[in-house]
A and B are shown apart, each in its own frame.
Chain A
Amino acid sequence: MLALDPAFLAVQALSGLSSASSLFITACGLTIVFGVTRIVNFAHGSLYMIGAYTAATLVPRLLELSFGPVTFWAGILASAIIVGLIGVIIEVLLLRRIYGAPELFQLLATFGIVLVVQDLVVQVFGPQDILGPRAPGLRAPVEILGRRFPSYELVLIAAGPIVLGLVWLLLRKTRFGVLVRAATQDRDMVASLGVNQALLFTGTLFLGAFLAGLGGALQIPRVSANTGMDLSIIAEAFVVTVVGGMGSVPGAFLAALIIGQLQAFGILIFPKSTLVVVFLLMAVVLAIRPHGFFGRAEIVGGTHAVGIASRSPLPGRHFILLVVIAVLAAFPLVADAYLLKVATEILIFALFAFSLQLLIGVGGVVSFGHAAFFGLGAYGAALAVKWYGVSMEAALPLGLALAALGAGLVGAFVVRLSGIYLAMMTLAAAQILYAVAFQWVEVTGGDNGIVGVWPSSWASGPIPYYLLTAALTVVAVLLLKRIIDAPFGYSLRAARDSESRAEAIGLKVRQHRWLAFMIAGAAAGLAGGIYAFSRGSVDPSLLGISTSVDALTMLLLGGIQTMMGPLVGAAALHGLRDWIMPLTPLWRLLLGLSIIAMVLIFPRGLVGTVRDWWGART
């Protein structure tokens, strides 16, 4: 019925074009910034959000002064320029200091900005969503084949190609553009030729942030500025830049066109799975072309890998282990119910972060979507309880199995990639699972999640459940540690430090990484399962970006180069969060600033810093 009506199809295609245009303007800035600085800027979505908020606040005031189209468009432009200047500030204060850092640190630092901006936006613009004014002169719809279509959308459709043309002119016809293109090709060569890099990078950030702000400001007549804009646009902008090829402006344009149409018509075929479709496209494109449509292979080398170093085993480690186990076992004697709850959660997160250490610290596989397996474990257990009525004892292994299976599937795609594409692919995998959990309402309960996931009677109550968690965590961590110290772990380290040499001595790098992916996924799945029963419910946020970032932050806080780092990091971060969160509404601001501070000031983390200090003393 739907497919036969040409007017409807035309309107739907136009809707798709206008979202493609909006998406391109934003993603174009992201891809230019990446091309020059090689930083995947998570904060790009925040700049977009600031653009929307600024315009929604600024434009109505300007329109009160003098009403007319000129004022409206001048206000939009002014908002974009303001955002461009904010981009300059971010470059000078932060990005400039991390150009040489490993991808993981760059991603986390820019995610720190995301957290800071989320709280600042509420402080500056207030908690309410702000609906901007309509564009003067564009309020009335136009008739297209007998259907009304908003005329502002037509302007948006034109805006995309106009921006593409202007950016093309800028890159082709100006000296700045020549330098940007040169830096995208070979950054070091540009530097050797005596180009003022600082100015070039600052200029690029201004351009990127300006485009993000413009993208946001152009949305105000159709979308109210709200605090969820940043993460929803950044996920889509990532898809566009990755599918188009990182650093390629025409690639971004093509990818945006495809995604816009996919969304417009996807809503007809799969009305409830629009989120999945977009990320599925990215997964398919990366599986076929590992560098997107027009992307180039990155220079592969071991230079960017950070991870645990090999050390001689500590004397008396068996004794320390026994003490730790004794302390864990005796803890219920001194702690009240709430403290036990916190301790249980810390143990769960410790296992989660430790499983990520196997991937990143040992394998050099920078996963930005580890929440996928934590969430799979939790959902696997909860679904088993909900649909098959199984007990906790059976549900936990089922959750673990589901996570391992998922990791096997995702890993098969991921191990073919490297560097930033790999990180983006893991992020995409986690987002697909998030979308499935969010939109497959009949099975997963969607936003409602699944409630009533309580432990068996022998394990319910704070003390038995704490002891169960402690036992499972200790066993799992010891097993993982054994794996890390085994020849298998050393092969992973070899591949992390030099892939080509590892291959030359006959190591099957991909198979090893794939296996590591499944082991890490299974361990994260176990943690997720225990977590589900400790809360009594699961919801899609377990699979969300912030859960992945939690694990990465714990890893970084504890110290990525040490074996015990993630365990300490989990305790420190979760303990701190539990202490500070009830005291201040600005928790995200604090967390964001601490992440940035950690990246800048002590990238070795707590355990690494203490060990260095100890080493220097003795």
Chain B
Amino acid sequence: MATTSAIRWRAPAWLALGAALALGAPATQAQQTPIKIGELNSYAQWAAFTVPYRNGWQMALDEINAKGGVLGRKIEIVSRDDGATTGSATRVADELVSREGVSLLFGSFLSNVGVAMADYANQKKIVYIAAEPLTDAVTMAQGNRYTFRVRPNNFMQVGMLVDQAKASGAKRWAIVAPNYEYGQSAASVFKRLIQERVPGAQIVTEQYPALGKIEAGATASAIEQAKPDGIFNVLFGPDLTQFVREGNTRGLFEDTTVLSLLTGEPEWLLPLKDEVPEGWTVTGYPWDEIKEPKHKAFIDAYRAKYNDTPRLGSLLGYMVMTMIRDSIERAGSTETDAIIKALEDAKFDTVIGPVTMRGIDNQSTMGAWVGKLVLKGAAGGMTGWTYKDGASFMPTEAEVKTVRKD
């Protein structure tokens, strides 16, 4: 009985595909059919980041296809919601690979999903480009030859922040991080780096609220109780907004050095409105002050196309799409092994300048902007920032070799 229904299910699926097939060329003209690429991300659950990210890759895709695509074929992106859980993401990936027949996968937002996707890519031997997941595991302990990452990972971004912490003189540190892969990974890197690089530093309290379920008042007062002179924050999204509001009310951030991952990115900064905690040292994206002509041109084009200001996600989506195009062109085919060869140790000329995909851990040298938060009118922005190139913050090759299993 189960099977009869499954067969019935097939007919409408073919009908749905019918439109695409009717418009597409017949199978004999294989070089005319578009190159299919699978994309999955948490569009429903983490819309603040992922929707601008989709705008970014869509814009790059339009530009690429307007110029005739790559290898004489257009690129077609099959995009799905990954459901923001590990099981759901690998299920969606499976659908993209075995039903849609995509050549490679990219996307996903949460770090735990990224780790599951890396495992999936390794099992099914398909290239997966982790665009956003930041946990070190994706390129270190759980890394494999099929998984690549574009953004600077936790080790790199925390390294940039810890360098800034030295000058502050803060020794008693509190950690607040969401209790899942990303938060756990960032917290453990911080604990290691602060003790290595700031003599006499100690961790006085660690708070790990569940992702999306922070009890902000209780968390803020528990940190206050430990009397830290420095706070390392990994919260983002709704958790961050609530934590900042409670912390501001209770004066938690007064006379305290705060290091915060990602808080300078517009996607997390804008919801704070005028309650931006001024003076936090953050990684982020000060798009409004960027002057490099190539980058400025991207920002202007984005604003003209979407009538909205860019987020970091927009930049990332755009960069990933163009890097995929370059790789396929250099590979000369969509075969997995050829694409892996084209990605490893490849140099890309991106809107933020040259970026290299380091072959030993498949981690790109894309960097991050580090600066301090400041209130600009009704919303927050960054001031006194510099762009830190990722290359000088990456884990050493020896370190990579001891951790990676492949």
A585 located at the interface, meaning its Cβ lies under 8 Å from any Cβ of chain B in the complex = yes
A-B contact pairs, 13 of them (CB 8 A): A8-B221, A131-B245, A131-B272, A222-B242, A222-B245, A223-B216, A223-B242, A263-B215, A267-B215, A342-B6, A449-B87, A452-B119, A537-B116
User: Which listed residue (B4, B8, B116) contacts A449, Cβ 8 A?
Assistant: B116
- Report the bound CA distance from A228 to B238 in whole Å: 11
- CB pair B215–A451 under 8 Å, yes or no, is no
18 A-B pairs besides A335-B6, A350-B2, A536-B119 with CB distance below 8 A are A8-B221, A128-B47, A131-B273, A141-B249, A149-B250, A150-B246, A150-B250, A153-B217, A222-B242, A223-B238, A232-B213, A327-B3, A339-B6, A343-B6, A448-B180, A539-B112, A541-B87, A585-B81
Given contacts A224-B238, A451-B116, A585-B44, contact A129 B218 (CB under 8 A): no
Q: Which residues of A contact B16 (CB under 8 A)?
A: 579, 583
CB distance from B316 to the nearest CB of A (A): 18
Instruction: List which B143-162 residues lie within 8 A (CB) of chain A.
Output: none
Given contacts A267-B218, A439-B179, contact A337 B87 (CB under 8 A): no
Nearest residue (CB) in B for A343 is B6
A37 located at the interface, meaning its Cβ lies under 8 Å from any Cβ of chain B in the complex = no
Give me the 8 closest cross-chain CB pairs, A-B, nearest first: A127-B47, A447-B180, A571-B5, A448-B112, A575-B9, A338-B99, A338-B98, A451-B119
- Report the bound CA distance from A592 to B364 in whole Å: 44
- Measured CB to CB, the residues of A under 8 A from B are 2, 5, 8, 11-12, 15, 18-19, 122, 127-129, 131, 134, 139, 141, 147-150, 153, 222-224, 226-228, 232, 263-264, 267-268, 271-272, 274-275, 324, 327-328, 331, 335-339, 341-343, 346-347, 350, 438-439, 441, 446-449, 451-452, 454, 462, 535-539, 541-542, 564, 567-568, 570-572, 575-576, 578-579, 582-583, 585
- CB pair B208–A272 under 8 Å, yes or no, is yes
- CB pair A567–B1 under 8 Å, yes or no, is yes
Q: Encode contact with A along B5-22: 1 for CB under 8 Å, 0 otherwise.
A: 110111011001000000
- Report the bound CA distance from A536 to B90 in whole Å: 8
- CB pair A324–B1 under 8 Å, yes or no, is yes
Q: Which of A439, A446, A568 has the most CB of B within 10 A?
A: A446
- CB pair A579–B208 under 8 Å, yes or no, is no
- CB pair B5–A346 under 8 Å, yes or no, is yes
CB distance from A569 to the nearest CB of B (A): 10
B181 located at the interface, meaning its Cβ lies under 8 Å from any Cβ of chain A in the complex = yes
Given contacts A222-B216, A570-B2, contact A272 B179 (CB under 8 A): yes
B88 located at the interface, meaning its Cβ lies under 8 Å from any Cβ of chain A in the complex = yes
User: Which listed residue (B80, B116, B250) contacts A148, Cβ 8 A?
Assistant: B250
B184 located at the interface, meaning its Cβ lies under 8 Å from any Cβ of chain A in the complex = yes
- CB pair A535–B91 under 8 Å, yes or no, is yes
Q: Which residues of B contact A271 (CB under 8 A)?
A: 207-208, 222
Q: Interface extent on B, as a size class?
A: 35 or more
Nearest residue (CB) in A for B13 is A579
- Report the bound CA distance from A103 to B87 in whole Å: 31
- CB pair B3–A582 under 8 Å, yes or no, is no
- CB pair A228–B215 under 8 Å, yes or no, is no
User: Which listed residue (A11, A537, A583) contacts B86, Cβ 8 A?
Assistant: A537
- Report the bound CA distance from A601 to B7 in whole Å: 27
CB distance from B263 to the nearest CB of A (A): 15
Q: Which residues of A contact B1 (CB under 8 A)?
A: 324, 564, 567-568, 571
- Report the bound CA distance from A542 to B87 in whole Å: 9
- CB pair B95–A582 under 8 Å, yes or no, is yes
Instruction: List which B204-223 residues lie within 8 A (CB) of chain A.
Output: 207-208, 210-213, 215-219, 221-222
- Report the bound CA distance from A536 to B88 in whole Å: 11
- Report the bound CA distance from A148 to B156 in whole Å: 36
CB distance from A594 to the nearest CB of B (A): 15
Secondary structure type dominating chain A contacts:
helix
Q: Which residues of A contact B123 (CB under 8 A)?
A: 454, 536
B340 located at the interface, meaning its Cβ lies under 8 Å from any Cβ of chain A in the complex = no
Number of interchain pairs (Cβ within 8 Å): 195
Q: Which residues of B contact A342 (CB under 8 A)?
A: 6, 9
Nearest residue (CB) in A for B270 is A128
Q: Which residues of A contact B12 (CB under 8 A)?
A: 579
CB distance from A447 to the nearest CB of B (A): 4
- CB pair A343–B2 under 8 Å, yes or no, is yes
Instruction: List which B5-62 residues lie within 8 A (CB) of chain A.
Output: 5-6, 8-10, 12-13, 16, 43-45, 47-48, 51
Q: Which residues of A contact B215 (CB under 8 A)?
A: 19, 263, 267, 274
User: Which listed residue (A134, A537, A578) contacts B87, Cβ 8 A?
Assistant: A537
- CB pair B179–A127 under 8 Å, yes or no, is no
Q: Which residues of A contact B245 (CB under 8 A)?
A: 131, 134, 222
- CB pair B5–A448 under 8 Å, yes or no, is no
Nearest residue (CB) in B for A449 is B86
- CB pair B8–A575 under 8 Å, yes or no, is yes
B359 located at the interface, meaning its Cβ lies under 8 Å from any Cβ of chain A in the complex = no
- CB pair B90–A448 under 8 Å, yes or no, is no
B85 located at the interface, meaning its Cβ lies under 8 Å from any Cβ of chain A in the complex = yes
Q: Which residues of B contact A222 (CB under 8 A)?
A: 216-217, 242, 245-246
- Report the bound CA distance from A81 to B1 in whole Å: 49
CB distance from B146 to the nearest CB of A (A): 14
B319 located at the interface, meaning its Cβ lies under 8 Å from any Cβ of chain A in the complex = no
CB distance from B138 to the nearest CB of A (A): 12
Instruction: List which B234-254 residues lie within 8 A (CB) of chain A.
Output: 237-238, 241-242, 245-246, 249-251
B271 located at the interface, meaning its Cβ lies under 8 Å from any Cβ of chain A in the complex = yes
B120 located at the interface, meaning its Cβ lies under 8 Å from any Cβ of chain A in the complex = yes
B225 located at the interface, meaning its Cβ lies under 8 Å from any Cβ of chain A in the complex = yes
- CB pair A338–B95 under 8 Å, yes or no, is yes
- CB pair B115–A129 under 8 Å, yes or no, is no
- Report the bound CA distance from A139 to B120 in whole Å: 49
Q: Which of A122, A222, A582 has the most CB of B within 10 A?
A: A582
User: Which listed residue (B6, B51, B110, B112) contacts A127, Cβ 8 A?
Assistant: B51
Q: Which residues of A contact B110 (CB under 8 A)?
A: 447
- CB pair A535–B2 under 8 Å, yes or no, is no
- CB pair A539–B249 under 8 Å, yes or no, is no
- CB pair B86–A129 under 8 Å, yes or no, is no
- Report the bound CA distance from A232 to B214 in whole Å: 12
User: Which listed residue (A224, A454, A576, A578) contacts B271, Cβ 8 A?
Assistant: A224
- Report the bound CA distance from A228 to B212 in whole Å: 8
- CB pair B179–A8 under 8 Å, yes or no, is no
CB distance from B139 to the nearest CB of A (A): 16
Nearest residue (CB) in A for B112 is A448
Q: Which residues of B contact A127 (CB under 8 A)?
A: 44, 47-48, 51
CB distance from A253 to the nearest CB of B (A): 21
Q: Which residues of B contact A335 (CB under 8 A)?
A: 6
Q: Which residues of A contact B120 (CB under 8 A)?
A: 536
Q: Which residues of A contact B8 (CB under 8 A)?
A: 575
CB distance from B123 to the nearest CB of A (A): 6
- CB pair B85–A541 under 8 Å, yes or no, is yes
Q: Which residues of A contact B142 (CB under 8 A)?
A: 451
- Report the bound CA distance from A147 to B222 in whole Å: 12
